[in-house]
Chains A and B, each alone.
Chain A
Amino acid sequence: MKIIYKKPEPITKTHTTYCPGCPHGIAHRLVAELLEEMNLTKKAVIVWPVGCSVFGYYFIGTDAVEAAHGRACAMATGIKRVHPESFVISYQGDGDLASIGIAETVHAAARGERISVVYINNGNYGMTGGQMAPTTLLGQRTTTTPYGRDAKLNGFPLHVPEMLAAIDGPAYIARAALDSPQHIIQAKKFLKKAFTAQTKDLGFSLVEMISACPTNWKLSPVEAMERIRREVLPVFPIGEFKVAKGVE
């Protein structure tokens, strides 16, 4: 019998804590596939965030640390600086990275820290029950924007890759989406470049992954993916915003 599809080696044999239809599983799989393909599993230290993926270390079987909310890039910096041989990933959500941890993110990028950031944007605080995030779309209802996000009151969605692409430290910055097979294949290509930026010692790398939160969006998994294409991607377009020489 020929194996045509299997669990990537670093994925552990356990049930995840994610809701039905949550794309965290897809993002985990992409990370795990690349760790295996690039022979990085045994070198990897993943810094997990506070948020839905707080238990990520149960699902991807590498050395791991659990950061305080928003501090993953700082913690990853500490590990990488004293132990450059380690392959350091910071896996963060949008509340964690773009709100409470934006300073740590921007400065890690500006310093060109040799870390790779997987940035999951689902437009709300999932674990705490669906509050407004910095990435919540205008007009979007959340538990703390019950009348819809109003630019006058709550400002505008934050475009992290576009911001980071404006600084010199990053070697690779991109935005992908996890809504469809073709976008997922593309997301993996982007993530591979992000990992390469670190293995080749080129600088900071980050891939934003547009994700869904069917539970808090109050949509079925399929409707949530459709909403990504219909409402989210026009505001958060897929693309590569910075590609340093050598990443390709």
Chain B
Amino acid sequence: MGEKILMKGAEVIAEAAIRAGCMAFFGYPITPQNETPEYFSRRMPQLGRVFLQAESEVAAINMVYGAACTGTRVITTSSSPGISLMQEGFSYIANSNVPCVVVNAMRGGPGLGDIAPAQADYFQATKGGGHGDYHSIVIAPHTIQEEADLMFDAFDLADKYRIMVVVLVDGLMGQMMEPVEFKDWVDVKKFKTPEWATVGQGDRDHRNIITSLSILAEGLEKMNLHLQEKYRKIKENEVRYEEYKMDDAEYAVTAFGTVARISKTTVDMARKKGIKLGLIRPITLWPFPTEIINKRAEQLKFFLDSEMNEGQMLEDVKLAVNGKKPVYFFGKLGGVVPTAEDILKEVEKHIEGGK
């Protein structure tokens, strides 16, 4: 750890990725995250690493796919419409078992939408988005400091499971400035080309082939079962969440990213009023922290799920609660950000309604 520096979220993503040993960036400009590729374009050449502005998001993700096949730490960053264009590549990457990191600074949709912060790509990120039965690990930081820390974990998890890791933030987290302290640099000289990488056979006694294809159904079933086994291990080992003032809570907000951060203020405001409110904040959106939410349902009177969308994580919260207690929802659409007061008002409304 070094000293604290004041930095913009979008640049923190780039600096943290670089320190975490990211050797290559491929991407295409899109608001509200252009500061990230711009930062990479300055820093990567200084370090002898690769920065390439692709001709499209479609090309960018396939460049990432190619670089990932060599076992090199590689990243792309984009925002919602650009991420939509990359979905085909995500699906190929999933069934090829190659590691990479993708940052989505979500903006309002659907369509061209707007450039305001939103969380409406939750389904796309956690349920697939591309074709086929696959998952990516999805991480949702809620502060700039956490963003800086989780970039390291994103690359480690990608390498550990040979999987794509999505860092899901929003326009607000990109544009906000906060003091941040970075973890120590990863020593990239220690990186070795993995034995599975396609870099030319060289001295290996076998050649490597990376493909997502198996023309026989039984072969493809095997590839799928391998993926499912990997996902099972990830679900077992990599669930992360934060609980805020949950020990004696009677009510809980569930929220991720920016809304989770706002909800912490809601919880503090509620506590001042004597309302025993807590927050459960999933850090990994996939794998989802189902168990803790189910467990907490025992002590709570209700959940209020709050998101900047029409209720996407809500479905996972409801599955976790499994009918034990009511799950209410409060959301803002199209890039509108809720205030801590808005959320508290909703909590109070449901407390009143329950009396």
Interface residues of A (CB under 8 A from B): 41-45, 47, 54-55, 57, 61-68, 71, 74-83, 85-87, 103-104, 106-107, 111
Cβ-defined contact, A82 with B62, below 8 A: no
Top 6 A-B pairs ranked by shortest CB distance? A78-B66, A66-B211, A74-B62, A78-B63, A75-B66, A107-B55
B63-81 contact mask (Cβ, 8 Å, vs A): 1 or 0: 1111111101010000000
A44 and B201 CA atoms in complex are apart in Å by 7
State A222–B54 Cα separation when bound (angstroms). Answer: 43
Q: With A and B bound together, what is the CA distance between A104 and B23 in angstroms? A: 22
- The CA-CA distance from A106 to B203 in the complex, in Å, is 34
Given contacts A57-B211, A67-B62, contact A79 B54 (CB under 8 A): no
Could you give 29 example pairs across A and B, Cβ below 8 Å?
Answer: A43-B202, A47-B66, A57-B209, A61-B207, A62-B201, A63-B209, A64-B209, A65-B69, A65-B211, A66-B210, A68-B89, A71-B89, A74-B62, A75-B63, A75-B65, A77-B63, A78-B24, A78-B64, A78-B68, A79-B69, A79-B70, A81-B52, A82-B50, A86-B199, A103-B59, A104-B59, A104-B62, A106-B55, A111-B52
Complex Cα gap A57–B69 (Å) = 15
Closest to B66 in A: A78
Contacts of B210 in A (CB 8 A): 64-66
8 Å CB contact of A71 from B59, B96, B207: B59
Per the bound structure, the CA–CA distance linking A206 and B34 in Å amounts to 33
Chain B residues 31 to 84 lying within 8 A of chain A, measured CB to CB, are 50, 52, 54-56, 58-60, 62-70, 72, 74
A58 to chain B minimum Cβ distance, whole angstroms, is 9
- Whether the pair B213, A54 counts as a contact (CB closer than 8 A) is yes
- Range for the number of chain B residues in contact with chain A: 35 or more
Alpha-carbon separation in the docked complex, A106 to B64 (Å): 18
Q: Quick one: closest A residue to B69, CB to CB?
A: A65
How many whole Å from B177's CB to the nearest CB in chain A?
A: 32
Query: Which residues in B have their C-beta under 8 angstroms from that of A75?
Result: 62-63, 65-66, 69
- State the total of A-B contacts with C-beta under 8 angstroms: 130
Pick from B55, B68, B88: contact of A104, CB under 8 Å: B55
14 further A-B pairs in the complex, CB-CB below 8 A; given A55-B215, A63-B199, A78-B62: A45-B199, A63-B207, A63-B208, A64-B198, A65-B69, A71-B58, A75-B63, A77-B66, A78-B64, A79-B67, A83-B199, A86-B200, A103-B55, A111-B52
Complex Cα–Cα for A63 and B18 (A): 29
| Residue B124, interface by CB 8 Å | no
Bound form: Cα–Cα A75–B89 in Å: 10
- Chain B residues with Cβ under 8 A from A42's Cβ? 200-203
Compute how far the CA of A125 lies from the CA of B118 in the bound complex, rounded to whole angstroms. Answer: 42
By a CB distance below 8 angstroms, the chain B residues around A111 are 52
